[in-house]
Each structure stands twice: as structure tokens, then as C-alpha cells.
Amino acid sequence: MFSFNLYSQDTTQSLAFKKNRPVKTNPYFYRPDLSYQLLQQFRLLQEANSGDALAQHELGIRLLLGEGMAADTAQAVKWIKLAADQNLSAAAYNYGILLMNGWGVDWNPFEAFRYFKLAASKGMPQAQYVTGILFTDNLVVSRNWEKAYYFINLAKENGYKVEDDVFNELSSKVRPSFIDSIKNGIAILEQNISHDDVKSKSELNSSNQTSVEKSLGLSFINFDVLEDTTQHEIKEEELIKDLTRIEIASILDTLRLNDARSIKAINGNDQIRILMDLCNYGSPEALTLVGKLYEEGIYFNKDIITAAEYYIRAVRYESFRAPLLLYQLTQKQNFNNLIQREIANKNAHAMFVWYGLSRFGYNNELVINEAFRVLQSAAGLKHIPSMIELGLNYFTGDYLQKNESAAFNIWKEAEQSGSIEATIRIVVGEIFKEQSSDDRKRLVSVLINFAEKGSVIAQSALGICYLKGIGTNKNKALAVKYFRLAAFRGNRFAYEQLKNLYDEIRPVSPEFIVN
């Protein structure tokens, strides 16, 4: 899927924030004395005050990073904006980053879009790519595949590395005649992108900007397409690539699956341990992948009941892929007979699956009340996923009278059996109850740890915490960050919260009207 990181915690990795110097001090280089450094700073400040855009931008970056002078974010923002307003492309791009992240300035993705588009019009490939991506998520501007293709193709032509699968997917959404017009240099969009919006190809190729590091979280979110997984057969490489949605640093390097096209590449104990840890933290991507391993008999003994169990758990966490994989599994010959036979043998895994199939609309043979009784029986056998699901039903009041105390008791029992999933449910439930300030701060720290381990519901809960100031200071930019992380992985609640935040400050300009 399309992924461009525009919400990073590491500001030093962006294009203009890079540090062009050796990592370690080299004793062979001459270091000017302090008075010379101060003279340089004074001259830079003089040039910036005289209106020199390059000096303003350089001064802003130094103030932002604390290079050669005390860090001062407020002053850094001031100077970078002054340079951006003089149409300096790098400054416009960097000011867009500040606006998108709410660093030293109020979070404003709409103003950020205008600055990114300005930098794109100056031939900056990184800004062209960002502008294209912003036309895909239907949050800042209305989704427009042709505009997205236009700008991303410009970025690609000018040296920005666009992943093949990203570009191919984007190309599939655009009229072939439009692509032909781009290839022929016509470059006309029916959606009113004027020739003032972009430079000619020869001018763009003169750009010497380096490729931006993938460390900034703007991600392509398209529920309309991703939910309709019946439109294509799910490939094994997609299941592997989905792990990158978790955004845990170097997870594919750790799993050694960077170039894997088949799940048969998962054949080591360390790989399985990492995947199972992710499952325990409630990762829909890992749960789906492990389900597929059980279904195919790769590493594990082939077991379609356990495969279905993992798929159902992934569906609970709103996996994009698991619904279709589960449906295909249920269509296998004798699947229902096997489940019923195992239920008769008091197999708690089969009981959980039978409940899940009814709960999520895959089986109409069993009314939900009967399915719920089957779930209670499985929980009584200390089947951990059934206990967590039963607790969730009590907590939300689904199918029985709401009873939060009963929910916590069941989850605590599961927690005592070693379930991290249950612990996460407890923390998420407790943080929104009446708590002391210190307790809530502690719970936020715990949630951050869970989010960093792959918990999608921890990410969503953190969005609420930062939005409402629960256990932490209100921070709309961080709320957006966590909602986006969760929404990118399929969490509909997070996506709705994200849309609401955008709509609250949406300008009246027709440019920013979305469907």
C-alpha cells in the first residue's frame, strides 16, 4: 500500500534536517575557535534579517536542531516560515512538515498542503510525492487518483524512489488515456491543475534535491478499497508486507522477510517467537499471518480450526485480509462438520470458532444467543481468546447486560494465565475510569509501551488520551499521529476520530471539500 512517513518522532531524519557532518569527531579536522563560530552566527543572522531566504532557512534549521546555537523551536519556526513565504522550496517543504506535525506551530494539515504544493511547483521531488499522497487519503483534499498519479509520477521522474508495488497500484486506478497523455508530455489534468502548478520536465530534472528519508507517517488510507477484499486473491507477499503497517522499527529485518514473496520463508524459531509476541499484543497483521501458517501447515502442523481461530481474532482487531481468508476457509469441504464434531468433543478452540463465525456473520445456522452460550463454555474451559471475548461482551453490553466489573474479573483471570492481550484490555478499560492523575499518567506510559509493541487498540486509546488530555497534556498533533497509526491498520474508530479532527479546522475553500 502507499506509505510515506510524514509523522515521525525523529525530526532529524527529514530532508533539510539531515546533518552533513561526520558522525564522530575527527581529530584531523581543524575546528575554528569560539569567536569565529560566533562571527559566523552573527553574519548569518545579519543576512537573515536583511531578507535573504537561504540565510533565513539555514538559521531556522540551526535553531531547530541546536547546531552551533541554543535550540529555539519558536524562533526556528519563525525563520523557516519567512523563507517559505519567499518561495524557497526546501523551506516550504520543511514548514509543511512542521505544520503537519504540530512542531512549534499549531497542527494544520491544510496549510501544510499549500506549502507542500508550493515546493512541488518548484520542482522538489519530495514535495511532489507528498502532494500526490495527500490526494489519496480523502482527509486534506478530496481523493483524486489522477492528481495523485500526476504528482507521484513527477517525483519518480525526478529521482524520487517510488516502490514498484505502490506505483503499480496507483497506475491501476487511473485511466490508461491519462497515463498516455503524461508519457507524451501533454500533462493536462481535467481536474484543474494549471501549468503554474508544475515546472516543465527539463526544469524538474535540474533539481538536485536528495531523496527524503522515510521517517516523516503520511499513509495511504482507503477503506473503500481495502474493505472489499473479495476483489482479488490475497497473495502471500501481501500478508508479509502488511507487517510493515505495525511501524515497529526494523521488524522485517528482525524477521528476515524483507524480500520474501512466500510465507514458506518463515521457518525459524526466532521468527515464530516474534510473530507470536505480536499476536499476544493484538496485531491484526501477525494474527492473520499466523492463521495462514496453520492453514497451510507451514512450520506448524496443519490445523484449520486453529487457523480459523487466528483469523477470527484478526477480524476482531479489524484486519483487512482476515475476513476473506476466513470466508474461504469456511467454504472448504467438511469444515462445518469438523467444527461441530470437535465441539461435541469439548474442544474449546472449535467452540470459539463456532461463536466467532456467528458473531461476525459467517454462519446463520446458529442464533447469536446460542453462540454466546458456546463462548461461555469455552471460557469456562480457560480458553484465553474466549475469556477475552467474553469479557469484551460484558464490558460493551453485547448480548447480555453490561457489567464492567465482570469484564475486569474475567480479564484479570486471563491475565494471571499470562495473557498480555487481557492486560491491554484492562489498561484501556481502566484509563477512562475515574483515576488519580498519577495513576492515569502511569497508564498512559503503559499504553505507549503496548503501542510500541504492536497493539492497535493501544494506539487508538492513546489518540483519545492526547485528544482529551487524559493522563497527559492535550496534544492534537500526537492525537492525530496515534489515530493515523491505528487507522492505517484498519481501526475504524480511529479513522472516524481522525476525520473529525480534520473537519474541525477544515477551511471553507472549495479546494479542501471532501466527499
Rg (CA), the chain: 26
pLDDT at residue 228 greater than cutoff 70: no
Residue 244, domain member (yes or no)? yes
Q: Which of these three, 273, 307, 332, is where a domain ends?
A: 332
Residue 347, domain member (yes or no)? no
Instruction: Tell me which of 272 and 210 has the higher pLDDT.
Output: 272
Phi, psi dihedral angles at 320 (to 5 degrees):
-75, -35
Q: In the chain, pLDDT over 70 holds for what percent of residues?
A: 82
Q: Give the residue-averaged pLDDT of 196-218.
A: 36
pLDDT digit string, tens, across residues 19-32: 333 334 444 554 44
Question: In which domain, by residue range, is 85 found?
Answer: 3-219
Enumerate long-range contacts of 177-183, CB under 8 Å, 24 or more apart: 178/146, 178/149, 179/149, 182/149, 182/150, 182/153
Lowest pLDDT segment from 42-46, 57-61, 108-112, 229-233? 229-233
Distances (CA, A) of 262 to 8, 258, 302, 325, 407: 30, 11, 17, 16, 40
pLDDT at position 515: 77
Asked whether residue 208 falls in the same domain as residue 230, the answer is no
Q: How many residues does the chain have?
A: 515
- The CATH number of the domain where 280 resides is what? 1.25.40
Asked whether residue 85 falls in the same domain as residue 207, the answer is yes
pLDDT at residue 119 greater than cutoff 90: yes
Highest mean pLDDT among 112-126, 161-175, 429-443 belongs to 112-126
- The CATH number of the domain where 41 resides is what? 1.25.40.10
Asked whether residue 202 falls in the same domain as residue 291, the answer is no
Residue 360, domain member (yes or no)? no
Look up residue 332 and give its amino acid. K
Residue 369, domain member (yes or no)? no
Residue 304, domain member (yes or no)? yes
Kindly state the helix (H) or strand (E) to which residue 348 belongs, with its residue range.
helix 348-359
Asked whether residue 202 falls in the same domain as residue 233, the answer is no
Asked whether residue 149 falls in the same domain as residue 255, the answer is no
pLDDT at position 170: 87
The pLDDT confidence band at residue 230, using thresholds 50, 70 and 90, is very low
Asked whether residue 286 falls in the same domain as residue 183, the answer is no
The pLDDT confidence band at residue 37, using thresholds 50, 70 and 90, is low
pLDDT at position 26: 46
pLDDT at position 249: 65
Residue 289 CB contacts under 8 Å (≥ 6 apart), including other chains: 239, 240, 242, 243, 263, 266, 275
Highest mean pLDDT among 34-48, 130-144, 257-271 belongs to 130-144
pLDDT at position 219: 45
pLDDT digit string, tens, across residues 50-83: 999 999 999 998 888 888 788 888 999 999 999 9
* pTM score, whole prediction: 0.81
Query: For the chain, what is the mean pLDDT?
Result: 83
Residue with C-alpha cell 492534537?
476
Q: Give the residue-averaged pLDDT of 28-43.
A: 61
Residue 371, domain member (yes or no)? no
pLDDT at position 161: 87
pLDDT at position 425: 96
Asked whether residue 41 falls in the same domain as residue 83, the answer is yes
Q: Which of these three, 332, 366, 396, is where a domain ends?
A: 332
Residue with C-alpha cell 487524559?
470
Q: Which of these three, 332, 362, 385, is where a domain ends?
A: 332
pLDDT digit string, tens, across residues 262-298: 888 888 888 999 999 999 999 999 999 999 999 999 9
Grid cell in block for residue 99: 505544520
Alpha-carbon span 116 to 98, nearest angstrom: 11
The pLDDT confidence band at residue 232, using thresholds 50, 70 and 90, is low
Alpha-carbon span 62 to 82, nearest angstrom: 15
Using alpha carbons only, give the angle 245, 477, 156 rounded to the nearest 5 degrees: 50
Q: Give the residue-averaged pLDDT of 88-113.
A: 93
Could you give the number of structural domains in the chain? 3
Look up residue 225 and give its amino acid. V
b/e map 38-53, b = 16+ CB within 10 Å = eeeeeebeebbeeebb
Residue 427, domain member (yes or no)? no
Asked whether residue 204 falls in the same domain as residue 113, the answer is yes
pLDDT at position 35: 59
Report whether 56 contacts 48 (CB < 8 A).
yes
pLDDT at position 467: 95
Residue 186 CB contacts under 8 Å (≥ 6 apart), including other chains: none
Instruction: Tell me which of 249 and 234 has the higher pLDDT.
Output: 234
Alpha-carbon span 207 to 164, nearest angstrom: 22
Lowest pLDDT segment from 197-201, 301-305, 405-409, 482-486? 197-201
Asked whether residue 440 falls in the same domain as residue 325, the answer is no
Asked whether residue 206 falls in the same domain as residue 276, the answer is no
DSSP class of residue 220 equals -
pLDDT at position 250: 66
Asked whether residue 124 falls in the same domain as residue 37, the answer is yes
Residue 395, domain member (yes or no)? no
Instruction: Tell me which of 232 and 117 has the higher pLDDT.
Output: 117
Asked whether residue 208 falls in the same domain as residue 257, the answer is no
